Amino acid sequence: MLFWRLYLFIATVLLTKTIRLTEAQAGVGLSVINHDLTVLVNANESFEIQSGTIFDYDVSVTLLNPHEEMIDLHPESFTYPKQVQGQTQRIVVTGRKAGHVVITARSTPAESWITDSLFMRIVVAKSRSIIYASLVFGWIYFVAWSVSFYPQIYENFRRKSVEGLNFDFIALNLFGFTLYSLFNCGLYFNEGIQDEYAKRHPRGINPVMLNDVFFGLHAIFATSITIAQCFFYHRANQRISKVAYGLLTLFAVFVIISAGLAGGSVIHWLDFLYYCSYVKLAITIIKYIPQAIMNYRRKSTAGWSIGNILLDFTGGTLSMLQMLLNAHNYDDWESIFGDPTKFGLGLFSVLFDIFFMLQHYVFYRHAADTARSNQTIDTEIPNNEKETAEKY
């Protein structure tokens, strides 16, 4: 009888440890439904902490606030009693100073599985109006950039010609957006890559959203239409230059080698996507140069749609304004000056747009007027001939 009781005791202990291990592996412990919260300065918001298991002992929890000057938490410490199911703890957050803060927690007993999923990314903002303005700007520049491909397509269709449109620009654009879509689709759809990203950024969020995926795939579609027009419409003696062929070959070799290293497990597929994004950034910097040089040599922008440039300028300007608004609202100027890549690329593109507008409206304005006049004359000749034939 004593042996049997000892056996039951040992079995119970082992079963309990197994359950706790399973909970730890499954990440079951204390957590929140939404890890993101925005609160205004001098305002209150709240979130609830819930338990995914029934504890066999009292669990004391302390929230860790690395920036106490930004937010107040109430309560900062609390206890989950043992053998209680479904208990939640409401935490009130008061904004004190604009900024970003990540709240984590520690527990007693100090078992990591209890608090691994308990963290909050809290943003303290100065104004809700600026938040709404930022959202509006974001949607406007998304639409402007998406629509910006079609003025050139229409221009080609109207003229039945692609003369004046630089083929290097189109080829670089297609390759760049293909890599951009590869990066977005990989991070948005592939669970293995998402798991690797979460491992490297435990409390970060996936930077790719559905609209990013849509924009990249749509850009490939629209650019492909433009390329198809280059085969069917008049193009004079235009072709892709040897320099562009060389750059595209260099980029392609780099991407293929990187894919081979990822396939051979030398690097992770996430690193491969990062390498693709670096190539895309390089293409963004150089892709406008061939068109600008071509306009300069022709002393004309005829065939190069200014509508594309105006929409791209609108999108780029609003994108930078959004970044500036967010930096002010969240007191996060480091996002611009600490890592200037995104803002710098946006500014670079806008400056090129301004240069193209100067070419179209100032430097070669008369050449554009002449091109329009010639098109008018060409379209009127058949009518004149028809009238002459009817007269005689």
- Supply the DSSP string of 254-312, one letter for each residue: HHHHHHHHHHTTSS-HHHHHHHHHHHHHHHHHHTTHHHHHHHHHHT--TTS-HHHHHHH
> What count of other Cβ atoms lies within 10 Å of the Cβ of residue 292?
16
For residues 94 and 117, the answer to whether their CB atoms sit within 8 Å is no
Say how many C-beta atoms besides its own lie within 10 A of residue 77's C-beta.
11
Sheet holding 59-64, edge to edge: 36-40, 120-125, 99-108, 59-64, 77-80
Q: HSE-up of 360 (CA within 13 Å, CB side)?
A: 19
Q: What is the pLDDT of residue 112?
A: 85
Taking only the tens place, the pLDDT of each residue in 75-95 is 999 998 888 877 889 999 999
The CATH 2.60.40.10 portion of the chain extends over 29-125
The predicted-structure confidence for 168-188, as pLDDT tens digits, reads as follows 999 999 999 999 999 999 999
CATH architecture for the domain at 29-125: Sandwich (2.60)
Listed as ranges, residues in the chain with pLDDT below 50 are: 1-27, 373, 375-392
| 3-class secondary-structure state, position 94 | strand
Do residues 301 and 365 make contact, with C-beta atoms less than 8 angstroms apart?
Answer: no
| Predicted local distance difference test score (pLDDT) of residue 371 | 54
Query: Residue 389, Cβ neighbours under 10 Å: how many?
Result: 8
Could you give phi then psi for residue 381, rounded to 5 degrees? -60, -45
Give the pLDDT score at 101.
92
